[in-house]
Chain A
Amino acid sequence: MIKVEHVSKNFGKTHAVNDVSLTINKGDIISLIGPSGSGKSTLLRCIHGLEKIDGGAIYLDGEKMDPSDKVKYRKQRARMGFVFQHFNLFPNMTVLENCTLAQIQVLGKSKEEAEQTANEYLQKVGLQEKKDSYPNNLSGGQKQRVAIARALCMAPDMMLFDEPTSALDPEMIKEVLDVMKDLGTQGMTMIVVTHEMGFARKVGNRVVFLDQGEIVEEATSEQFFSNPQSDRAKDFLSKVMYD
């Protein structure tokens, strides 16, 4: 459903993403892994259009994503939800308002309709009783679950996650991963930048290993973790896996 073709992105002299090609099919759960600074976030942000690409092209169901075709581009982007490492919830709004704002302002739903949808997804992430709280009164894990619900309210057909659990205390990681796992079980297409190797292995079906802006290895999760091919992937796994 997404085709990334020879995409490059530079920051000054840094080649953050360098000639990356990648195909993501419907229902895929792709784990983007790699050392710090390898370009995982940048690649994910390029796919959503948060970063303008310097070269190559991205296709959504065969149609090129072209920022100059504003109307179409906006519709294409609306099909992707994005979850940030630092949640980026709106601190001046309640949990419920966080979830309804864009539904009302972008999708043109009525307040009642939007709240109904929001309640549905808040229930899904187990936070319906927190709907009138403000984000600053929630734990990190709860914030991230709200952020996921907020993205889901826009009815995307794929979800992009940029290290959704990296800013969380260890005891809160699981509650967020569980929500993501449920999403995957229900058939959501997901691209997840993560350092959670357990999640990549058990929930993800494919792994894309990046280093220095390039895809070094791409394999099914099972293959990647049991039998990595490249030296760099072996080296990386020996550093992050404790066993």
Chain B
Amino acid sequence: MFKAFDKVFTLENILYMGKGALMALCIAAVALTCGLILGTLGATGRNSRHVIPRTIANLYVTIIRGTPLLLQILMIFSVIPSIYTAITGKVLRIDPILIGMIALSINSGAYQTELIRSGINGVDKGQWEACETLGLSSWKTMKLVILPQAFKRIVPPLISEFITLIKDSSLISCIGAVELLKSAQVLGADYFEVMSPYLLAAIFYLIMTIVVSMIGAKIEKRLAVSD
């Protein structure tokens, strides 16, 4: 099964895979950050008094959470260049990594919408009322009183979202983005044996997810102390 084991596990190949792992981490970090922005907008929309932002946010969450991520990646991969071609008449070549980042950001934004919303709604209603009786506007209430408290509840699920994104970044290998899984496949093709590179990729994914969850546990502990 591991015919090319000793040939694959060389320093050079491990460094090559390490680069892929860094790319996966980078993609996940970008998606988490952009998703946080989209998620904040989405949560604001979903909690809005007005119908239009509420409807848009609801549609966004329903569509993204109701369809497979792989399909979303493939669709964005073909939709963006064809829109560009339709508008400018030119052919667009974008880095598949960039497409992957966009797709994962949009996807994560929908999940983060729900996560942020439940964090905000989990803050005691009495906090809103206290601010109201003190004359604070609802925007200032949100910014100064609610969000800082919601943040504490949001951090732990955000960390799991980051772990999910690290793993899900592997899906963009299907559009040719050279991240960790794709790197393994490239090596597999070189040595006519996939098991050893896959094993190496699994080890890298595990290291990343374990380290992130350990950091997460530390952060959670620190947040709990200030309660």
CB within 8 A of A77: which of B126, B135, B227?
B135
CB within 8 A of B144: which of A50, A88, A105, A154?
A105
Q: Are A82 and B133 in contact (CB under 8 A)?
A: yes
> How far is it, in angstroms, between the C-alpha of A90 and the C-alpha of B127 when the chains are bound?
7
Closest residue of A by beta carbon distance from B145: A90
On chain B, the residues within 8 Å of A134 by CB distance are 226
Q: Are B140 and A105 in contact (CB under 8 A)?
A: yes
Within residues 115 to 145 of chain B, which ones have a CB less than 8 A from any CB in chain A?
A: 124, 126-127, 129-136, 140, 144-145
> How far is it, in angstroms, between the C-alpha of A173 and the C-alpha of B147 when the chains are bound?
33
- A216 lies within 8 A of chain B by Cβ: no
- A106 lies within 8 A of chain B by Cβ: yes
Q: Tally chain B residues at the interface, Cβ within 8 Å.
A: 18
Residue-wise interface mask of B (89-133) relative to A, using a CB-CB cutoff of 8 A (1 in contact, 0 not): 000000000000000000000000000000000001011011111
> How far is it, in angstroms, between the C-alpha of A89 and the C-alpha of B126 when the chains are bound?
9
> How far is it, in angstroms, between the C-alpha of A90 and the C-alpha of B149 when the chains are bound?
9
On chain B, the residues within 8 Å of A150 by CB distance are 134
- B176 lies within 8 A of chain A by Cβ: no
On chain A, the residues within 8 Å of B127 by CB distance are 88, 90
CB within 8 A of B133: which of A50, A91, A136?
A50
* Minimum C-beta distance from B165 to chain A (A): 28
Closest residue of B by beta carbon distance from A74: B135
Closest residue of B by beta carbon distance from A156: B133
* Minimum C-beta distance from A148 to chain B (A): 12
- A40 lies within 8 A of chain B by Cβ: no
> How far is it, in angstroms, between the C-alpha of A105 and the C-alpha of B226 when the chains are bound?
24
On chain B, the residues within 8 Å of A86 by CB distance are 126
On chain A, the residues within 8 Å of B131 by CB distance are 102
> How far is it, in angstroms, between the C-alpha of A74 and the C-alpha of B134 when the chains are bound?
10
The prevalent SS among residues of B at the interface is: helix
On chain A, the residues within 8 Å of B144 by CB distance are 101, 105
Residue-wise interface mask of A (82-119) relative to B, using a CB-CB cutoff of 8 A (1 in contact, 0 not): 10101011111000000001100110000000000000
Closest residue of B by beta carbon distance from A134: B226
On chain B, the residues within 8 Å of A78 by CB distance are 135
> How far is it, in angstroms, between the C-alpha of A74 and the C-alpha of B132 when the chains are bound?
10
- A151 lies within 8 A of chain B by Cβ: yes
Closest residue of A by beta carbon distance from B148: A92
> How far is it, in angstroms, between the C-alpha of A78 and the C-alpha of B135 when the chains are bound?
6
On chain B, the residues within 8 Å of A105 by CB distance are 136, 140, 144
On chain B, the residues within 8 Å of A89 by CB distance are 130
- A39 lies within 8 A of chain B by Cβ: no
Q: Are B133 and A48 in contact (CB under 8 A)?
A: yes
Q: Are B135 and A92 in contact (CB under 8 A)?
A: no
On chain B, the residues within 8 Å of A82 by CB distance are 129, 133
Q: Are B136 and A106 in contact (CB under 8 A)?
A: yes
- A81 lies within 8 A of chain B by Cβ: yes
- The chain B residues found within 8 Å of chain A, CB to CB, are 124, 126-127, 129-136, 140, 144-145, 148-149, 226-227
15 further interface pairs, Cβ-Cβ under 8 Å (given A92-B148, A136-B227): A50-B133, A77-B133, A84-B126, A84-B129, A88-B130, A89-B130, A90-B127, A90-B145, A92-B149, A101-B136, A101-B144, A102-B134, A102-B135, A105-B140, A151-B134
